[in-house]
Amino acid sequence: MADAKVIPFDDDRTRGGAVQRSPRRRGAGSRRKGESAVVRDGHQSRESGEVQALPGRAGGADDVPVTREKPEPPQGAAEAQDGGLEQRIAGGLAFLRKRLTGDYEVDDFGYDAELTDQVLMSLLRPVYEKYFRVEVKGIENIPADGGALIVANHSGTLPMDGLMMQVAVHDNHPAGRHLRLLAADLVFMLPVVNELARKLGHTLACAEDASRLLHQGELVGVMPEGFKGLGKPFGDRYKLQRFGRGGFVSTALRAGTPIIPCSIVGAEEIYPMIGNSKTLARLLGFPYFPITPTFPWLGPLGAVPLPTKWTIQFGEPIPTDGYPPEAAEDPMLMFNLTDQVREQIQHTLYKLLVQRRSVFF
């Protein structure tokens, strides 16, 4: 609705803030003292309101009170909201129909892009945004297209850091890139976990799969510490373990793709590992069996991670396309590049820890 406008009166005068009309103009259509004329939709109404100066007159005694009304919401806003809801419902039903009829695609590794975008990422996102409140830095260091190898530290007793790194890349990269993680063989031996990992784009941590993904232009993530980093005691937090034999460097050299160091702070404290029951680990076939201040003492409740505040920083890429093809077989070069990546991650970890004010805030 349009703002109300003032009808000017030539002989109006104000006394003590009230409006009076000259006696010679009074008649059937005259107004009592203290009333104002307002036009709304072509009709006159009598209301009191704020004071606005008459056109051509100075403010003060010649001001007339007018009423300004709030504009109505744009027509069709409610219909647009209803239409958006209908579209979401229609999209959800179409998604379910594809699932039931098998009319969807997965790649050779079992990666289901549609399921990941619409379901799995939606389940992980509240944990990422609300629980761990992840802050991402250096996302511009990840290329917009083409293959690249992201190398990160590994910690936290359970591999939550890999999942959070996936969401960080997917939700923050301008190109919305997907991160394909290389996982240990234990992941693919567990029921349910195996299927979910495949759907999310994880694959076995071997040179063949990594090389194939890189040559396809995919963004690949690897955590060379493996179980040594994931299951280290709380006293060794943020101290990088050995990076294996540098196989990831050899893979990147063969594909000619850059290596992007990634440092993750916050995962070390979600399950403070104060002990390791090696006997139970051997019986269950696990590399370790963690004992934390809450697990196994509190039962299933002890499996809930602590709500620490995370920071994930992607460092500047280390190029590998300038080396000759035979460089992938040079052990000294692989050792030097592996050490360079490791030192860069460790240095960034220390820098982020100095900047961190609190584990939880």
Beta-carbon contacts of 265 under 8 Å, excluding residues fewer than 6 positions away, are: 238, 310, 311, 312, 349, 352, 353, 356
Residue 136 structure tokens: 């991402």
pLDDT tens digits for range 302-338? 999 999 999 999 999 999 988 988 888 898 999 999 9
pLDDT at 220 over 80: yes
What pLDDT score does 75 carry? 56
Regarding beta strands 179-183 and 203-204, do their DSSP bridges make them parallel or antiparallel, or are they unpaired? parallel
pLDDT (average), residues 40-45: 42
Output the pLDDT for position 12: 43
Helix, coil or strand: residue 256:
coil
Instruction: Kindly report the number of other CB atoms within 10 A of residue 149's CB atom.
Output: 26
Q: Which residues contact 356 (CB under 8 A, 6 or more apart)?
A: 265, 309, 311
Eight-class DSSP state of 129: I
Q: Each residue of 147-184: pLDDT tens digit?
A: 999 999 999 999 999 999 999 999 999 999 999 999 99
**pLDDT above 90: percentage of residues in the chain:** 62
Instruction: Give the mean pLDDT of 21-47.
Output: 42
Query: Tokens 């890429």 correspond to what residue?
Result: 317
Cβ atoms of 209 and 183 closer than 8 Å: no
Using an 8 Å Cβ cutoff, are 94 and 87 in contact? no
